[in-house]
């Protein structure tokens, strides 16, 4: 930092020197490192980043029959268990868990390959703190991955990896090392993997490692298994680097990890065996490319150079990037280069995939990343505010061909980053100034300097500095942060929120909560010859469908065939067929009843269905039983009759169909760049989230609402058809939800001939007229760049529109005879009424105009009133004898303070030597104001005492200075009493007569 003393900076760098082996290539002088990192022209590259990526994919596609599956979004918007996609296998999680729908394209995969966009900046896999400090960590990176889903296993995966690395990429086999899982108390050592590697490597290069290195887990729960890592020694030259494997040496780095997925993590000590064995491999594109380009650092490869060149060009002081580390980078110049370049990629890819910086979850992580980069750029490289947004086109140009979503979202990315930078810009300077002046400059001489938790919390709460950014600045300055104190300060702020959340959970508790079906459960169902539920009847209406209970699932697992479901418990019933719609695509689940039948086909009980979920095609009806007959045993094989609450569905279906119409209307009014970001359809309303960067104005809201109302009025047909996915994707104008995985074949919903066509598995009306009406009741922000519309249909819409028209008529009448007080009351009524959002905005504006006009008229009347009072005042003063020293007069000016000042100015102009007290009455209120010349003040005549004495008979109060004062009495029916008290006090203060 520029303003921090060199001695403070050296304190940190001295500590770093002690770890120099973690920063410096083994045995190579720093001067040589700097020479090695200088980059040559990309035109002479044999292995560009693009070629490394395409070679990997083509090798597995063409030589080993893998299917190329495009990278999923780096933010798994449909998986709340992950902040970000941190590995290539995330999108294949349903396969490993046994939850993939049989109609999904994933269900047909046996082998797959891709280059997956990954972010590791939160949760279990978090590399954020290391980015910039070394040459091989990134928050964003590409993972070259291959998968086998129950097809091939360890031997084939190892054989392919060796062939690709040594033959295709032509890496020196002498520089390769492999690791395998050494085993623990739960799982034995992976001897198979060891023996397969011994076919290619000598024993000392096949290394046993503990679980922290060689047992891979995606998260706290989920698929996992032992793994085998491939490490590469950049130095080579015949040396034995086995002791440096997994020791954070930048020259002996892991490049590929082959995971043998065999288990599912269900808890800290709970592992279950998956029904099939899978392969999941991942190789860091940047690391492999650095080796192939013979660079000592990931940041020296071709894809980073345009960013470094742009940073140097934008900075007035920055020298070219030199790849310095640790003590050699004492001013953090090259650290800043690396961090900013990395973070520019992360922000661009994440925002393109739908993440918006905010204060929650992955959005907050993104905000931290942007602020970290902004601080590095402005403080270290002296870059101007807004520089991060200017890096986006470079990222797009470098990666846009491989990831076209960057090109499609370029303007959106720039706008989001620009707005976020602007919001943080002023706070950044204030934060740096506070840090340097209030913390660093005032620190004592102690060897260990600690930033109090309250100061760190002030930086966070007031100036927007994430704790990790404060810790980074503290570390650079030789300080530590009292994180315990920070946490204590944070707890008080969050206390109410935690209590509210706890209360909400208690209020929503409905007894036992069933766990989702995962691989173990779906495999058990198949092993017991239970087929996926036939739920094709979910699109039928007004049917009572006979079905048979095939399995009963409880919080403790499946109920045995000869046992019954526990009484009073929440259980899940899996039927052979069902007419219930399982929650999906934003539509809430059907509710209803399963009539439980006895052997004579008599109803003996009712199973009240309150939730319906689908896992791998098995539909789970969750609910509780209420018995009506003598038999009280719910068992496998029992007959039931499905009775959906169709009245409720009839309220949901119009809302779902109208989300499609709304989606089309939004694109029509706002442009084709609008994308759906989520939806909710229930029996009360519809809610639709979409990408847009600013609030909608009245004209836009009216146009959207009118477009939807026109479709309802036209009563167009809503039709469905089931098509092969590829054929459906080729349909002209078809829309799909961002980040959604669709089945093959897929259901396509069309509204009219050209209104809307979308992939959708929900329930819909047959014609739009069934919606009766449409009313857009709210438009608001969800997050930066994401807006939300809430609307109603059917009777709720009719009533909302009626309420709006009634209020509009009242406003129209008020405009004819303006009344400010009535306008204020009507404004409150408008605010609280459910009505058209566009009309609500319009009526608010009209009422504000009425109030403004009324206020102006009132001001004009008051002005006239004051002018008249001043004329009378001049006449009264002209009639007062010269020897009279105090005046008490009634002045008709209402309660306007500015008018009272005009009165006092007039008195001081016409009678500067006289004390004056004016009284004005408005209703039951009395306002008093006075002025006393300095000469009388010197004789003991005080204005503040005069006011107090005058208002005392009415219980009024006032105050001020010796020379001027004012006050009021809220209840005073007889002004003469106040006049008399004021005159009496004045008479006691002067010897002359008082008017």
Interval 566-624: pLDDT, tens: 877 889 999 999 999 998 888 999 999 999 998 888 899 999 999 999 988 899 999 99
pLDDT of residue 863: 83
- Rounded CA-CA distance 565/546 in Å is 20
Confidence of residue 52 (pLDDT cuts 50, 70, 90): very high
Does position 27 have pLDDT exceeding 80, yes or no? Answer: no
Does position 651 have pLDDT exceeding 90, yes or no? Answer: yes
Average pLDDT over the chain reads 86
Average pLDDT (511-516) is: 66
Does position 992 have pLDDT exceeding 60, yes or no? Answer: no
Rounded to 5 degrees, φ, ψ at 275 are: -70, -20
Does position 207 have pLDDT exceeding 70, yes or no? Answer: yes
What is the share, in percent, of the chain residues with pLDDT greater than 70? 89
- Rounded CA-CA distance 38/324 in Å is 11
- Which tokens in the block code for residue 343? 């973070």
Higher pLDDT, 7 or 114: 114
Average pLDDT (651-672) is: 96
Note whether 131 and 339 are within 8 A (CB): yes
pLDDT of residue 494: 58
Query: Class of the 519-644 domain?
Result: mainly beta
Confidence of residue 125 (pLDDT cuts 50, 70, 90): low
pLDDT of residue 25: 30
pLDDT of residue 61: 97
Q: Is 604 exposed, middle or buried (0-12, 13-18, 19+ CB in 10 A)?
A: buried
3-class SS string, 368-433: HHHHHHHHHHHHHCCCCCCHHHHHHHHHHHHHCCCCCHHHHCHHHHHHHHHHHHHHHHHHHHHHHH
Confidence of residue 470 (pLDDT cuts 50, 70, 90): confident
- Which tokens in the block code for residue 682? 């229930």
Q: Give, rounded to a whole angstrom, the gap between the first and last alpha carbons of the chain.
A: 74
Note whether 580 and 634 are within 8 A (CB): no
pLDDT of residue 738: 63
Average pLDDT (878-887) is: 85
Topology classification of domain 49-293: BirA Bifunctional Protein; domain 2 (3.30.930)
Radius of gyration of the chain (CA): 38
pLDDT of residue 439: 77
pLDDT of residue 994: 41
CA dihedral defined by 76, 82, 88, 90, rounded to 10 degrees?
A: -80
| pLDDT tens readout for residues 151-199 | 999 999 999 999 999 999 999 999 999 999 999 988 999 999 999 999 9
Average pLDDT (265-293) is: 89
Range in 239-253, 473-487, 840-854 with the lowest mean pLDDT:
473-487
Average pLDDT (536-542) is: 94
Does position 511 have pLDDT exceeding 60, yes or no? Answer: no
Average pLDDT (733-755) is: 84
- Of the spans 211-220, 662-671, 882-891, which averages the highest pLDDT? 662-671
What is the share, in percent, of the chain residues with pLDDT greater than 90? 54
Higher pLDDT, 462 or 635: 635
Average pLDDT (628-644) is: 89
Average pLDDT (930-954) is: 93
| C-beta neighbour count of 650 within 10 angstroms | 16
Does position 668 have pLDDT exceeding 70, yes or no? Answer: yes
User: Which residues, 6 or more positions from 952, have their beta carbon under 8 angstroms from its beta carbon?
Assistant: 981
pLDDT of residue 23: 28
Q: How many CA atoms lie within 13 A of 313 on its CB side?
A: 8
Binding site, annotated residues for Zn(2+): 656, 660, 760, 764
Higher pLDDT, 562 or 299: 299
pLDDT of residue 633: 85
User: Which residues, 6 or more positions from 258, have their beta carbon under 8 angstroms from its beta carbon?
Assistant: 154, 157, 158, 161, 193, 227, 228, 229, 230, 279, 280, 281
Domain ranges of the chain: 49-293, 303-439, 443-493, 519-644, 650-802, 880-992
Rounded to 5 degrees, φ, ψ at 985 are: -65, -45
- Rounded CA-CA distance 912/857 in Å is 34
Query: Class of the 880-992 domain?
Result: alpha beta
pLDDT of residue 214: 95
Average pLDDT (285-293) is: 95
Average pLDDT (464-486) is: 78
Binding site, annotated residues: 656, 660, 760, 764
Topology classification of domain 650-802: 3.30.980
């Amino acid at each position: 930092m520029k303003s921090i003393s060199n001695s403070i900076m050296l304190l940190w760098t001295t500590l770093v020197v002690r770890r120099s082996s973690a920063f410096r290539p083994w045995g190579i002088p720093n001067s040589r490192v700097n020479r090695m990192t200088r980059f040559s022209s990309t035109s002479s590259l044999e292995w560009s980043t693009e070629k490394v990526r395409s070679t990997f994919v083509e090798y597995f596609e063409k030589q080993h029959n893998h299917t190329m599956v495009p990278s999923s979004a780096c933010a798994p918007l449909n998986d709340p268990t992950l902040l970000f996609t941190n590995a290539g296998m995330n999108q294949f999680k349903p396969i490993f868990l046994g939850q993939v729908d049989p109609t999904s394209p994933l269900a047909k995969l046996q082998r797959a390959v891709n280059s997956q966009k990954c972010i590791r900046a939160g949760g279990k896999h978090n590399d954020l703190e290391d980015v910039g400090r070394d040459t091989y960590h990134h928050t964003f990176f590409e993972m070259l991955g291959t998968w086998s889903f129950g097809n091939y296993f360890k031997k084939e995966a190892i054989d392919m990896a060796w062939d690709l690395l040594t033959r295709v990429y032509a890496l020196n086999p002498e520089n390769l090392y492999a690791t395998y899982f050494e085993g623990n108390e739960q799982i034995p050592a992976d001897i198979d993997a060891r023996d397969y590697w011994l076919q290619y490597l000598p024993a000392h290069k096949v290394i046993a490692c503990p679980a922290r290195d060689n047992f891979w887990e995606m998260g706290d729960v989920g698929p996992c298994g032992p793994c085998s890592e491939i490490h590469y020694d950049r130095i080579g030259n015949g040396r034995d680097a086995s002791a440096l494997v997994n020791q954070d040496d930048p020259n002996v780095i892991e490049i590929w990890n082959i995971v043998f997925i065999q288990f599912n993590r269900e808890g800290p000590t709970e592992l279950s065996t998956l029904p099939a064995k899978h392969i999941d491999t991942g190789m860091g594109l940047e690391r492999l490319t650095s080796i192939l380009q013979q660079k000592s650092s990931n940041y020296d490869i071709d894809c980073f150079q345009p960013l470094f060149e742009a940073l140097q060009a934008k900075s007035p002081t920055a020298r070219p990037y030199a790849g310095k580390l640790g003590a050699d980078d004492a001013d953090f110049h090259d650290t800043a280069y690396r961090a900013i370049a990395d973070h520019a990629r992360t922000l661009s890819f994440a925002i393109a995939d739908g993440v918006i910086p905010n204060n929650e979850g992955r959005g907050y992580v993104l905000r931290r990343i942007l602020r970290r980069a902004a601080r590095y750029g402005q403080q270290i490289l002296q870059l101007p505010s807004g520089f991060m947004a200017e890096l986006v086109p470079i990222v797009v140009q470098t990666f846009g061909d491989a990831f076209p979503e960057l090109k499609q979202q370029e303007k959106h990315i720039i706008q989001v980053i620009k707005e976020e930078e602007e919001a943080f810009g002023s706070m950044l300077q204030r934060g740096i100034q506070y840090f340097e002046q209030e913390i660093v400059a005032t620190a004592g001489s102690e060897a260990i300097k600690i930033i109090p938790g309250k100061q760190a919390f002030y930086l966070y709460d007031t100036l927007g500095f994430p704790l990790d950014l404060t810790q980074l600045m503290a570390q650079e300055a030789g300080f530590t942060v009292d994180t315990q104190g920070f946490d204590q300060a944070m707890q008080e702020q969050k206390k109410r929120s935690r209590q509210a959340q706890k209360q909400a959970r208690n209020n929503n508790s409905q007894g036992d909560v069933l766990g989702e079906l995962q691989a173990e459960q779906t495999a058990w169902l198949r092993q017991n010859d239970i087929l996926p539920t036939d739920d094709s009847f979910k699109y039928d209406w007004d049917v009572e469908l006979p079905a048979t209970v095939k399995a009963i699932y409880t919080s403790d697992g499946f109920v045995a065939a000869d046992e019954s479901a526990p009484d009073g418990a929440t259980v899940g019933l899996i039927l052979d067929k069902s007419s219930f719609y399982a929650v999906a695509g934003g539509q809430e689940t059907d509710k209803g009843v399963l009539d439980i039948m006895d052997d004579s086909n008599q109803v003996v009980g009712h199973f009240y269905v309150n939730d319906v979920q689908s896992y791998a095609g098995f539909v789970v009806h969750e609910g509780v039983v209420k018995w009506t007959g003598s038999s009280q045993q719910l068992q496998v094989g029992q007959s039931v009759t499905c009775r959906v609450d169709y009245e409720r569905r009839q309220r949901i279906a119009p809302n779902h169909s109208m989300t499609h119409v709304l989606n089309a209307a939004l694109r029509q009014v706002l442009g084709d760049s609008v994308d759906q970001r989520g939806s909710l359809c229930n029996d009360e309303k519809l809610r639709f989230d979409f990408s847009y960067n600013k609030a909608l104005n009245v004209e836009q809201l009216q146009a959207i609402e009118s477009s939807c109302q026109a479709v309802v009025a036209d009563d167009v047909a809503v039709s469905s058809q089931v098509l092969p996915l590829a054929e459906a994707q080729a349909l002209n104008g078809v829309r799909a939800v961002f980040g959604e995985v669709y089945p093959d074949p897929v259901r396509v919903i069309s509204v009219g001939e050209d209104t809307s066509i979308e992939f959708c598995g929900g329930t819909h009306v047959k014609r739009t007229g069934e919606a009766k009406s449409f009313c857009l009741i709210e438009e608001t922000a969800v997050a930066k760049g994401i807006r939300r519309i809430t609307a109603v249909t059917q009777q709720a819409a009719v009533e909302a529109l009626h309420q709006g028209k009634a209020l509009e008529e009242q406003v129209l009448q008020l405009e004819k005879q303006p009344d400010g007080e009535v306008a204020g009351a009507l404004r409150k009524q408008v605010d609280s009424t459910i009505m058209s959002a566009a009309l609500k905005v319009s009526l608010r504006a009209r009422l504000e105009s009425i109030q403004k006009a009324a206020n102006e008229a009132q001001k004009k009347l008051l002005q006239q009133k004051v002018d008249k009072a001043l004329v009378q005042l001049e006449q009264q003063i002209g009639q007062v004898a010269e020897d009279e020293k105090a005046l008490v007069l009634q002045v008709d000016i209402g309660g306007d303070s500015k008018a009272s000042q005009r009165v006092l100015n007039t008195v001081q102009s016409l009678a500067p030597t006289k004390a004056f007290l004016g009284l004005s009455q408005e209703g039951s209120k009395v306002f008093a104001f006075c002025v006393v010349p300095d000469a009388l003040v010197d004789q003991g005549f005080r204005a503040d005492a005069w006011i107090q004495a005058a208002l005392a008979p009415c219980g009024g109060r006032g105050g001020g200075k010796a020379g001027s004062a004012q006050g009021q009495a809220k209840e005073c029916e007889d002004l003469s009493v106040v006049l008399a008290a004021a005159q009496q006090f004045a008479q006691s203060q002067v010897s002359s007569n008082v008017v």
